[in-house]
């Protein structure tokens, strides 16, 4: 066995600047298409609540034709906020499928943020009305920020944004990030904000229904990000029953996504739309929901991009890893 084998480490300072928006979009699109063609596999998800109030999960998979194998260990630790840290934590590892030897370990926080934002953007592009100009966002954290950033870049017209914060009060830092790109203000009545929106983005910890079902008007598109664990939800009862539902993975959505609350309803995987194998024509009155639970393949295609970039540039930290 080689005694001079190396393991590549890519930390946050490498990962964050290396994530280019167009490349991430392309990688996430590839992941969805691979999944729709079953050319990439998604292994069963681990998602467990800890005694520390944290939630720990593992998402893994492979793409045999690309010799791509790996996992992401990630979760949500709400107590991190009190320590000045980010509640979402993630680490990604890539492996040689022929030997099982680890090839690369990289910081997964920025990757998770970027790939989830890109996934929401692809769903928005496929499902929202092209004339959408009014957006309602629930949340003001990292994921709400990236979802709104991608949404504004995807929609062809200048938008008006209303957001719902935890406190119900304005969040100046959140507003400052978007003032040059849209008219943005805090929503004091969440039901009114939903009713007056073309696009609704929910990016919260998934602690319960965020608004009344009757607030959702015909023609609305909803991007649902926060429900990724059994027992979580953001949508109220009754919305899914009125909607055309799209998911990243049917089984996963019915287990840990919004679809867990109505698993009997039909849903379509977004990869089929992107691959052109699942035709979809939106009428002006359709309500569409993209129930996003996150695919391991999204993490792996983006991680592969960064791994290959680091190898080509000779960057990152190589450490001895004899086997």
- Please give the positions annotated as active site: 72
Q: Is residue 93 a contact partner of residue 71, using CB atoms and an 8 Å limit?
A: yes
Helical axes 21-36 vs 296-313, angle rounded to 10°: 130
CA-CA distance, 46 to 202, in Å (whole number)?
23
Q: Is residue 225 a contact partner of residue 294, using CB atoms and an 8 Å limit?
A: no
Strands 55-63 and 68-76: antiparallel
User: Could you say which DSSP state residue 207 is in?
Assistant: B
Q: Is residue 301 a contact partner of residue 27, using CB atoms and an 8 Å limit?
A: yes
Q: Return the ∠ at Cα 154 (arms to 149 and 159), rounded to 5°.
A: 70
Choose among 257, 79, 223: nearest CA to 148: 223
Please report the DSSP string for 230-257 in residue order: TT-B-SPTTHHHHSEEEES-HHHHHHHS
């Amino acid at each position: 066995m080689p005694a001079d084998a190396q393991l590549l480490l890519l930390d946050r300072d490498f990962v964050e600047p290396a994530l280019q928006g167009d490349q991430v979009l392309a990688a996430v699109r590839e992941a969805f298409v691979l999944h729709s063609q079953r050319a990439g596999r998604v292994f069963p998800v681990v998602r467990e609540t800890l005694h520390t109030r944290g939630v720990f999960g593992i998402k893994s998979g492979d793409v045999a034709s690309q010799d791509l194998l790996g996992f992401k260990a990630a979760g949500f630790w709400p107590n991190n906020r009190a320590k000045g840290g980010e509640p979402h934590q993630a680490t990604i590892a890539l492996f040689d499928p022929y030997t099982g030897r680890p090839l690369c370990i990289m910081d997964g926080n920025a990757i998770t943020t970027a790939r989830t934002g890109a996934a929401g953007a692809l769903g928005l592009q496929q499902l929202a009305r092209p004339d959408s100009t009014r957006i309602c966002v629930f949340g003001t954290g990292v994921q709400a920020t990236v979802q709104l950033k991608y949404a504004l870049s995807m929609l062809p017209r200048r938008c008006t944004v209303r957001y719902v914060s935890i406190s119900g009060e304005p969040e100046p830092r959140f507003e400052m990030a978007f003032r040059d790109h849209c008219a943005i203000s805090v929503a004091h009545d969440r039901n009114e904000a939903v009713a007056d929106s073309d696009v609704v983005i929910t990016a919260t910890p998934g602690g319960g229904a965020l608004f009344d079902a009757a607030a959702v008007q015909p023609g609305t598109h909803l991007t649902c990000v926060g429900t990724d664990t059994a027992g979580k939800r953001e949508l109220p009862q009754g919305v899914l029953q009125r909607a055309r539902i799209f998911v990243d993975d049917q089984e996963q959505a019915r287990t840990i996504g919004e679809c867990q609350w109505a698993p009997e309803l039909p849903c379509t995987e977004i990869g089929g739309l992107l691959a052109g194998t699942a035709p979809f024509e939106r009428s002006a009155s359709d309500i569409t929901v993209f129930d996003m639970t996150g695919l391991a393949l999204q993490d792996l295609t983006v991680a592969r991009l960064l791994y290959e970039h680091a190898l080509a540039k000779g960057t990152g930290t190589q450490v001895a890893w004899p086997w």
